[in-house]
Amino acid sequence: MKRELTIGYVTVDDPLDRRTWSGINNFLFEALRRQVTEVIPIGPLRPRPVLFFCQVVNQVRWRLFGKRWNYRDSFIMARAYRRTLRRRVAGMDLIVAPAGLCTMALLDTQVPIVYVNDRCTAGALDYHRILTDLTERSRKESLAVEQCTLENADLVIYSSQWAADAAVASNASVKNKVKVVPFGANLTEAPAPPTERVFPPAELKLLMLAVKWEDKGGPIAYEALQEVKRRGQAAKLVVCGVDPPEELDDPDLVREGFLNKNDPADMARLMEHLRTADLLILPTRFEAYGLVFCEAAAYGLPVLASRTGGIPTIVQDGRTGFLFDLEANGGAYADRIMELVRDPERWQAMRRSARERYAGTLTWEAFVHTLMGYVDEAGLISRER
């Protein structure tokens, strides 16, 4: 039974478009609609005159100084959003603002605010490559805007312990309203539970899903493939998304290319790879969260990944996969792969545990259920219609 509530769902981008923010805006929106009577989309938000001005200023700064202005998280944009949102959120029972760092910073409203994100700027500025080329002034402004949002929100939901810890470290006073709720897999329907199958197969299938070869640890995954074969286990590495460097001419490196999740045929092909792979390998250099790990869990696919960012919240080391320090090379990954080859029952157990992790925690239904539990715990809803 749906809860009798009206939620204002505030997003900078179109919440109906699955191409924005890795599909999170849309999947969360749809999950809320399944559990709440009325979810009103308030977005996309495009204060065009201000946005155009910011884009021009940013281009000038880049050309003159080789540094960017993170205008998307600036006070000038926050003021523009405040003017736009004041009247539009009136009368709501609750505001849910995914990736609403700037939209919620200066919004003055009596409606309770739930701010949702996968990263904390204070923890990401010197972590993720895309945030390392900001001007010093922009860095300080981004941090200040985030502090306004953390103070203004009634409930702060992060998808990982990594992000939550960074937020509390930046402002201890918000500790009690910061919660960790893992995002769900972006799947329109749950796949059938994995069935027992022969392992190891004659040829091991390693799957890598990535759009950037170096950033996602492609060289390490390729080295792991070579090392596994050197130790006598036939294997192939199927790479979806990015095209590996041409000089890597190993026939066991399968170049699947980019698969568009909005295209039914491509999506079906991607799901087939997840269903038939033996291990997902992704030695990524940085990762705020990693929805791909949730999707792998849905298919009962054990994971080999870096111990970085939000990944440890999703992947349980030794239970649903193995996590590695960033310094680990392909040989270290191969060591774990060969351990599973020699112990098939452990691989089978990891498959079962991964699927259990998905069913119990890594779905959008579970996310909304937990979020609303925290809303109730905080007493944010004073009335229900």
Does residue 371 share a domain with residue 311? Answer: no
Does residue 199 sit within a domain? no
For residues 289 and 314, give the distance between their C-alpha atoms in angstroms, rounded to a whole number: 8
Does residue 167 share a domain with residue 60? Answer: yes
Does residue 198 sit within a domain? no
Token pair belonging to 235: 């294997």
Does residue 383 sit within a domain? no
The alpha carbon of residue 259 and the mean position of all alpha carbons in its chain are separated, in whole angstroms, by 18
Does residue 268 sit within a domain? yes
| CATH number of the CATH domain containing 320 | 3.40.50.2000
Token pair belonging to 76: 């000038």
Q: For residue 260, what pLDDT is reported?
A: 86
Model pTM score: 0.95
Token pair belonging to 297: 């869990």
- Considering only CA atoms, give the Rg of the chain: 22
Does residue 301 sit within a domain? yes
Per-residue confidence of the chain (385 residues) as pLDDT tens digits? 899 999 999 999 999 988 889 999 999 999 999 999 999 999 999 988 999 999 999 999 899 889 999 999 999 999 999 999 999 999 999 999 999 999 999 999 999 999 999 999 999 998 877 788 899 999 999 999 999 999 999 999 999 999 999 999 999 999 999 999 999 999 989 999 988 899 999 999 999 999 999 999 999 999 999 999 999 999 999 999 999 999 999 999 999 999 888 788 999 999 999 999 999 999 999 999 999 999 999 999 999 999 999 999 999 999 999 999 999 999 999 999 999 999 999 999 999 999 999 999 999 999 999 999 999 999 999 744 3
* E strand or H helix at 107: none
Does residue 238 share a domain with residue 354? Answer: yes
Q: For residue 384, what pLDDT is reported?
A: 43
Does residue 133 share a domain with residue 69? Answer: yes
Task: Return the half-sphere exposure (C-beta side, CA atoms, 13 A cut-off) of residue 31.
Answer: 25
For residues 358 and 351, give the distance between their C-alpha atoms in angstroms, rounded to a whole number: 11
The 3-state DSSP class for residue 306 equals strand
Does residue 274 share a domain with residue 242? Answer: yes
Does residue 191 sit within a domain? no
| Secondary structure (DSSP) of 121-170 | HHHHTTTSGGGTTB-HHHHHHHHHHHHHHHHH-SEEEESSHHHHHHHHHH
Does residue 144 share a domain with residue 14? Answer: yes
Does residue 96 sit within a domain? yes
Quote the domain boundaries for residue 103.
3-184+363-377
For residues 159 and 185, give the distance between their C-alpha atoms in angstroms, rounded to a whole number: 12
Q: For residue 385, what pLDDT is reported?
A: 37
Does residue 141 share a domain with residue 247? Answer: no
End-to-end CA separation in angstroms for the chain = 14
Q: Into how many domains does the chain fold?
A: 2
Does residue 59 share a domain with residue 8? Answer: yes
| Long-range Cβ contacts of 125-130 (<8 Å, 24+ apart) | 127/286, 127/309, 128/286, 128/288, 129/215, 129/286
Q: For residue 19, what pLDDT is reported?
A: 83
For residues 181 and 313, give the distance between their C-alpha atoms in angstroms, rounded to a whole number: 9
Does residue 336 share a domain with residue 367? Answer: no
Q: In sequence order, what are the residues at sequence separation of 6 or more whose Cβ sits closer than 8 angstroms to the Cβ of residue 212?
A: 242
Does residue 216 share a domain with residue 157? Answer: no
Q: For residue 199, what pLDDT is reported?
A: 95
Does residue 233 sit within a domain? yes
Crossing angle of the two packed helices 75-88 and 136-152, in degrees rounded to 10: 30
Does residue 356 share a domain with residue 282? Answer: yes
Does residue 348 share a domain with residue 248? Answer: yes
Q: Given phi > 0 = left and psi -120 to 50 = alpha, else beta, which region is 383? A: beta
Q: For residue 1, what pLDDT is reported?
A: 85
